[in-house]
Amino acid sequence: MKRCVLAMLLAMMFLPAAAVVAQEPEWPQGPEAAEFEMEMRQREQELQQREHDLDMKRRMGELELEKRKLGLEHMRRETDKPKPHPLLLLIGVVHILAAVWVYQDIRSRNKGSGLWIVITLLTGLLGVLVYAIVRLGDKEK
């Protein structure tokens, strides 16, 4: 019995609130209706403008993200470029130093030609060895 009374009291408390919620809003009539309709259209336009602005911001964010991804990919490709092996650099330095020595020796003796410098640059230590043999042969004369 107590439960029934309690249920009825609760129903009576919420029944007027449900009736208010269930009522449809009254739309203005007459000249107020035009103003109300105009205000509703303005609000719809503002809402559409806000949606458009948010969509534009989202697209700009996506483009910025894509730009950053491309930049990172470009940086990754730059760092992945093959670097010359240190041994190759050493061989190049040896060729140049050997050519400099041959050049200085030719100038100090006033004998020989620039052809030996080219040979030394192309062949490295083998060219220096051939030059030294030819030079030793010149000394004995």
pLDDT above 90 coverage of the chain, percent:
32
* Mean pLDDT of the residues in the chain: 83
Calpha distance 10→7 (Å, rounded):
5
Which pLDDT score, from 0 to 100, does residue 141 have? 47
Which pLDDT score, from 0 to 100, does residue 12 have? 72
Residue-by-residue DSSP string for 30-73? THHHHHHHHHHHHHHHHHHHHHHHHHHHHHHHHHHHHHHHHHHH
- Contact assessment for residue 101 and residue 124, using Cβ atoms and an 8 Å cutoff: no
Which pLDDT score, from 0 to 100, does residue 132 have? 87
